[in-house]
């Protein structure tokens, strides 16, 4: 192969067209956000929305594209990457709509689209990276803009405290992960995941286990796995509700995709006994999240612990992904369902928070009479999170449980089912506040076109995905194809 051919194979710009659109748009909006005034403050959000739609259009064909590598075997172009990037882009789009209404006519209005787009690019890159250096880079790219989003309201003391905790925990977790990645390079002499997988076959199991444990710290931080979850409740409460919704979805989806690629390409099942380790972490995560959620009176903290528990359910299928073919489609389906129901819940909390300046449980008392549409959307989202049929969360939980059973983890499936029954209590408790308690606050909720679209898309998606699960399941099946 000639030098020119090698360079051409490495510089495959078409492989990163969606990322280039979003990154280029974010960079172009930096000076715009600093100069716009008055009604022009809406311009960055409109441009960001258009960029996300273009990126979705460029990403969709990857679902049917033959798997290949780009940029000198450091970046994957396969249906797996296409599926998870579509989920991330959808999460960013819904979050943008909610943020547009939440910060309308405020100081933050022109600025949040820049950070949102850059975090989205980082998440998209993490789904495709097959090189250790790029994995660290994209984890940083999804994290740092997320810190800025949490601190959008700079004068808010809770936001300042949350951002500091988020940054410190994130820096520590990613540093530990990077240290673990250096062990993998030292053991194999390669930065490529598949080359590492082949090179570890004859490596010392103790060193492989150590490297695996250190790497999981970084992914576990983004996925809010126990014991790396401690930042999430304070950050979710300190950030505004739409930002908390974004942080609860986009980095988590990216981390799940990144962890799956890392495990399946670099860590064959026999190495580091990772299926057993992840199964135990899944059991601890779902149990801790559900138990602590029972005591919460802040809606954002309740949803934070709910998000931790949901990560535990999904990790259950991750632990058998190397041996059960249906595990990857189950995870993909549930991440779509999780995106829809979680962002719907956070959007209603955003409406309440903007109207009353609080996210306490008392603010939703009597919401069924004061704001029937918002109360209905929140009810459906919570019931879906609880796994009540015929909503998307029910089908998703069934797929996860079946994957665990097929993988021989019957005990974990039973444990998860018990956790799902436990979680039903605190979800129904919020619904009871909305319909069976007298309101303590006058007025309905904040309104806006962005809120309406976000709720409409998420609620419709939750219903359709639950009634016709094969629609999303078929896409998830396509997205289960990785590099050969």
pLDDT in tens, 425-467: 999 999 999 998 887 766 777 788 999 999 999 999 999 999 9
Domain boundaries along the sequence of the chain: 294-484
pLDDT at site 2: 38
Distance CA(152)–CA(106), nearest Å, equals 11
Distance CA(453)–CA(458), nearest Å, equals 8
Q: What's the pLDDT band for 270 if we cut at 50, 70, 90?
A: low
Residues 6+ apart with CB under 8 A from 468: none
Sign of the C-alpha dihedral, residues 307, 480, 414, 336?
A: positive
Per the DSSP assignment, residues forming a β-bridge with 76 are 69
Q: Is the model's pLDDT at 391 over the cut of 80?
A: yes
Q: Is the model's pLDDT at 57 over the cut of 90?
A: yes
How far CA 184 is from CA of 137, 208, 269, 271, 278, in Å, comes to: 17, 7, 16, 12, 19
Q: Which two tokens stand for residue 242?
A: 């739409």
Q: Is the model's pLDDT at 394 over the cut of 90?
A: yes
DSSP symbols for 125-183? HHHHB-BHHHHHHHHHHHHHHHHHHHTSSTT-HHHHHHHHHHHHHHHHHHHHHHHHHHH
Distance CA(386)–CA(393), nearest Å, equals 7
Distance CA(244)–CA(158), nearest Å, equals 13
pLDDT digits (tens, 9 = 90+) for 105-134: 788 888 899 999 999 999 999 999 999 999
Distance CA(86)–CA(193), nearest Å, equals 23
Q: Is 391 helix (H, G, I), strand (E, B) or coil?
A: coil
pLDDT more than 90, % of the chain:
64
**pTM across the whole model:** 0.93
């Amino acid at each position: 192969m000639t030098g020119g051919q090698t360079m051409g194979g490495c510089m495959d710009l078409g492989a990163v067209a969606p990322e280039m659109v979003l990154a280029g748009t974010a960079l172009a909006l930096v000076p715009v956000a600093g100069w716009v005034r008055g009604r022009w403050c809406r311009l960055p959000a409109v441009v960001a929305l258009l960029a996300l739609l273009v990126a979705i259009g460029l990403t969709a064909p990857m679902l049917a594209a033959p798997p290949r590598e780009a940029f000198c075997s450091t970046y994957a172009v396969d249906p797996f990457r296409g599926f998870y990037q579509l989920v991330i882009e959808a999460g960013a789009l819904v979050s943008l709509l909610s943020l547009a209404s939440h910060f309308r006519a405020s100081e933050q209005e022109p600025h949040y689209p820049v950070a949102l787009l850059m975090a989205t690019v980082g998440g998209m890159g993490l789904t495709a990276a097959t090189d250790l250096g790029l994995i660290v880079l994209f984890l940083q790219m999804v994290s740092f803009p997320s810190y800025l989003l949490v601190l959008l309201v700079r004068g808010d003391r809770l936001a300042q405290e949350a951002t500091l905790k988020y940054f410190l925990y994130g820096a520590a977790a990613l540093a530990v992960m990077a240290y673990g990645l250096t062990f993998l390079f030292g053991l194999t002499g390669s930065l490529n995941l598949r080359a590492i997988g082949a090179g570890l076959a004859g490596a010392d199991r103790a060193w492989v286990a150590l490297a695996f444990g250190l790497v999981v710290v970084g992914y576990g931080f983004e996925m809010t796995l126990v014991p790396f979850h401690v930042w999430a409740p304070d950050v979710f409460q300190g950030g505004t509700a739409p930002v908390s919704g974004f942080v609860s979805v986009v980095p988590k989806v990216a981390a799940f995709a990144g962890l799956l690629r890392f495990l399946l390409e670099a860590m064959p099942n026999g190495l580091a006994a990772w299926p057993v380790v992840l199964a135990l972490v899944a059991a601890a995560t779902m149990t801790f999240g559900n138990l602590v959620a029972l005591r919460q009176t802040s809606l954002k903290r309740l949803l934070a612990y709910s998000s931790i528990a949901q990560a535990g359910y999904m990790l259950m299928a991750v632990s058998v992904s190397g041996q059960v073919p249906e595990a990857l489609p189950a995870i993909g389906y549930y991440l779509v369902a999780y995106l829809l129901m979680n962002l719907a819940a956070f959007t209603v909390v955003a409406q309440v928070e903007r109207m009353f300046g609080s996210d306490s449980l008392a603010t939703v008392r009597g919401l069924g009479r004061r704001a029937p549409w918002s109360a209905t959307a929140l009810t459906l989202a919570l019931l879906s999170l609880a796994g009540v049929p015929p909503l998307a969360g029910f089908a998703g939980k069934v797929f996860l449980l079946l994957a665990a059973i097929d993988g021989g983890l019957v005990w974990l499936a039973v444990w998860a089912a018990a956790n799902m029954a436990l979680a039903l209590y605190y979800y129904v408790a919020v619904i009871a506040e909305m319909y069976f308690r007298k309101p303590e606050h006058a007025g309905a909720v904040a309104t806006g076109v962005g809120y309406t679209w976000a709720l409409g898309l998420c609620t419709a998606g939750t219903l359709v995905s639950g009634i016709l699960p094969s629609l999303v399941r078929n896409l998830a099946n396509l997205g289960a194809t990785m590099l050969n």
